[in-house]
Amino acid sequence: MAVFLVVGILLLVMVLLVSGRVRIDVVGVIALALVGLFHLVPTHSLFSGFSSYAAIILAEMFILGEGLRRSGATDVMARMFERIGRRGEPALITALMALPPVPSTFISDVGLMSIFLPTMMRIRQSLKISLHRLLMPLAFSIALGGLLSMIGSAGNIIGNATLASSHYQPIPLFGITPLGIILVFSGFLFMKWWGIRHLPTNNGQSEFLSNYQEVKSYISEVQVNDDSPLVDKPLREIGFFRQHHVTVLRIIRPNGHIMTPGANDVIHQGDRLVVQGELQAILDLQPEFGMEVVGTDPATMKLRRDNTRVVETMVPPRSALVNHTLRGTNFRTKYGATVLAILRQGVTRIRELPVTPLRAGDVLLVMGTDDAIARLQMADDLTVFSDVERVVPASPKRSIIASVVVLGVLVAAAVNFLAIQAAAAVGITVLLMTRIISMDQAYRAIDWRIITLVGGITPVSLALTHLGVSAAIAHTMIRIVGPLGPYAILAVFFWLAALLTQVISNVAAALVLSPLAISVAGANHWSPDGLIISMVIALSAAPITPLANKVFIMAMGPGRYRYQDFFRIGIPFTVVMFVLTVILIPVFFPFVH
């Protein structure tokens, strides 16, 4: 009975993750609750995932990466891209493939992409290089950087944690590095000789910010008559605007004063309102509310004026805005800025913006004052593609300290002076004491959804192992594929991981496949390292769809990529990585020691 229960829980977890309708941390909580409800693991093991090697290392790497980011150390590479970009597109694309894998070894993929995206936008505007040509090489490079160490990605950390919990020797910190260097260099050559030639060319639609005529077609100017029932009413009390999704962008007072309104600003007699919304809704204002549509004045209709700017921002995967609406988050009140349009998978959305749920990777066209844009840049919920001056300028001293701390953590762990968990804890303490990051910033840096998923799925993995389910699956796999030899099993694990990461997160895929890899290796009396590494490579190097990695989702909106673009480049790229994996893993990680 217990076997059927744990298999049912695993299938439920997979269905929920594939559907994408339930947050991954909620999935983790559901799994944890069900395992506890049916007593599938001992009570003392139920919460062991939260104190596991994987959870601790993941949290520490999030904080160390945030320390590097806040110190300004990564800005050095961003400025380097701008200098290289002046030499032309070929030199820039070469740099985009060659340089990011190094910081990607210890900075989260999403955090690194958030740093480099604004730089790519500035390069696009100043050097007229299409984002189509830049963002996919950058995203591939960041993802491949996870193969340079065993802390390079969540999949690496979880795979190593599973080895340790199964009483195997974990793979050394830089044990994957020689193989990773070959794969990163091969990825570079692939993009240089094949990928770049098949990248989409500028189709004239990539300049979302510089050409927003479609947005302007939804903007009108209305005059408030003296007998209007809206006179002396604050905007928040005008239900018509909310009901018909009409946004007041600007109020022009009779004395000529122009203001960007808030919810508490009051309408006066003779005001002219610059509004955004569907024409029919705006025309309905005339008979019912004593307003009339007037001829537009180019000076007042100009979106960029004085200290008001229009910029692009992107919703990153970890943003609190994901799956919420602008109205539900009180976006305008919170930030003092107005969203004019949403770009999603190449389609510009202008209608019903306040009630449109936001998705990771959405690009928002935002209008606001310099102060409002600065507030957006300081927030963690949006990545601003602009040249707003940093609120805290990068300090060379802080950058050096943060870089030395991270290097010291890696060296201490590599020479076995300290366990990686202890070395990272010391490094974080130094960052806190030198005020490079605060405790609040450290807490915010951790992606608690991933930690909760790890903590929730770990008891499911334990139950699968203790009840013999993993062993049964392993024996079935050996019976079917085993006669073809170890290379066939290696291939099966690569493609299982490559396909799973297209439909569920790489964290969940690693949590599911790692125990299975160890069971298969144990049944054959092999070292499990090779199967774990095969899984790790597939989780980082299978960009068949943009869903394979969050950085691909982040690149999709600004780059206006389509799924076909990833198919065209990602499938042959994955095949190349697969062939190299099957050939090289037995060399670096023999099946039998």
Taking only the tens place, the pLDDT of each residue in 485-537 is 889 999 999 999 999 999 888 898 999 899 999 999 988 889 999 999 999 99
User: Going by C-beta distance under 8 Å and a sequence separation of 6 or more, which residues neighbour residue 296?
Assistant: 220, 221
Confidence of residue 386 (pLDDT cuts 50, 70, 90): low
Residue 574, pLDDT score: 96
Q: What is the mean pLDDT of residues 569-584?
A: 96
Confidence of residue 544 (pLDDT cuts 50, 70, 90): very high
Distance CA 208, CA 382 (A): 17
Sheet holding 258-259, edge to edge: 258-259, 247-252, 272-276, 219-224, 291-293
Residue 181, pLDDT score: 96
pLDDT in tens, 106-158: 777 887 888 788 788 777 777 777 788 888 999 999 999 999 999 989 899 99
**Residues above pLDDT 90, as percent of the chain:** 33
Distance CA 214, CA 375 (A): 27
Q: Minimal CA–CA distance to 102: which of 193, 181, 192?
A: 181
Confidence of residue 586 (pLDDT cuts 50, 70, 90): very high
Residue 142, pLDDT score: 94
Model pTM?
Answer: 0.81
Residue 204, pLDDT score: 45
8 A C-beta contact, residue 366 and residue 312: yes
Residue predicted with more confidence, 223 or 183? 183
Q: Minimal CA–CA distance to 340: which of 307, 303, 314?
A: 303
Q: What is the mean pLDDT of residues 533-558?
A: 90
Distance CA 509, CA 153 (A): 13
Distance CA 462, CA 54 (A): 14
Residue 13 has pLDDT above 80, yes or no: yes
Distance CA 442, CA 486 (A): 44
Residue predicted with more confidence, 481 or 542? 542
Residue 377, pLDDT score: 79
Q: What is the mean pLDDT of residues 63-74?
A: 85
Among 76-85, 88-97, 250-259, name the most confident range: 88-97
Q: Minimal CA–CA distance to 373: which of 356, 348, 390?
A: 390
Distance CA 87, CA 95 (A): 11
- Which CATH class name applies to 308-385? alpha beta
Helices (H) and strands (E) in the chain, counts: 28, 10
Among 4-18, 247-261, 529-543, name the most confident range: 529-543
Mean pLDDT of the chain: 85
Residues of the chain with CATH 3.30.70.1450: 213-301, 308-385
In Å, what is the CA distance from 236 to each residue of 219, 330, 333, 414?
Answer: 20, 12, 11, 59
Confidence of residue 297 (pLDDT cuts 50, 70, 90): low
Q: What is the mean pLDDT of residues 13-41?
A: 89
Residue 50 has pLDDT above 90, yes or no: yes
Residue 435, pLDDT score: 92
Q: What is the CATH number of domain 213-301?
A: 3.30.70.1450
Residue predicted with more confidence, 213 or 414? 414
Residue 433, pLDDT score: 95
Distance CA 513, CA 461 (A): 9
8 A C-beta contact, residue 385 and residue 554: no
Residue 389 has pLDDT above 50, yes or no: no
Q: What is the mean pLDDT of residues 333-350?
A: 82
Residue 388, pLDDT score: 42
Q: What is the mean pLDDT of residues 289-301?
A: 66
How many C-alpha atoms does 523 have within 13 Å on its Cβ side? 21
Residue 444, pLDDT score: 86
